[in-house]
């Protein structure tokens, strides 16, 4: 089980993808080359920013679309094997005043956060390394 001390610091996104129940993976919502920073401060505040770095084949709205960038910040805490982000401000109004819950997997000095989805994909996964 992870502790809050395990997460404190700055993390850089190394992979963002969909994970299916059969173990197969596919390109995530921000593409194969997504970039991001995740900051967990010891005082309980956090900030996350993720962005698409190149256009998808079918994405003519690249460089300006609200789907190319996601950012939010607020308070955070570890609950069991999850981290809870209580969002106070964000680039998308739909996440403000919500709790974003992610399963935590710590291994080999890296951090994996994943969320079960209810749509066409089983999970969305973000792999992070210390910046």
> pLDDT, tens digit, for every residue of 20-61?
999 999 999 898 899 999 999 999 999 999 999 877 665 555
Q: So what CATH class is 4-130?
A: mainly beta
pLDDT at res. 58: 55
Alpha helices, H only, 1-131: 4-7
- Output the pTM of the full model: 0.89
Residue 18 Cα distances to 35, 79, 87, 90, 108, angstroms:
16, 24, 23, 23, 21
The tokens of 72 are what?
Answer: 């939010």
pLDDT at res. 87: 98
Tell me the average pLDDT across 74-80: 97
* The dihedral sign for the CA sequence 29, 45, 131, 5: negative
pLDDT at res. 60: 54
């Amino acid at each position: 089980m992870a502790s809050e001390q395990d997460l404190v610091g700055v993390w850089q996104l190394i992979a963002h993808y969909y994970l299916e129940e059969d173990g197969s993976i596919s390109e995530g919502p921000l593409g194969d080359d997504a970039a991001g920073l995740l900051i967990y401060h010891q005082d309980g505040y956090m900030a996350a920013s993720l962005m698409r770095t190149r256009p998808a084949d079918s994405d003519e709205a690249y460089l300006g679309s609200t789907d190319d960038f996601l950012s939010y910040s607020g308070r955070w805490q570890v609950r069991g094997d999850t981290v809870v982000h209580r969002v106070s401000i964000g680039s998308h109004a739909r996440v403000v005043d919500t709790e974003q819950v992610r399963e935590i997997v710590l291994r080999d000095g890296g951090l994996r956060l994943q969320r079960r989805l209810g749509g066409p994909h089983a999970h969305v996964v973000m792999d992070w390394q210390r910046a």
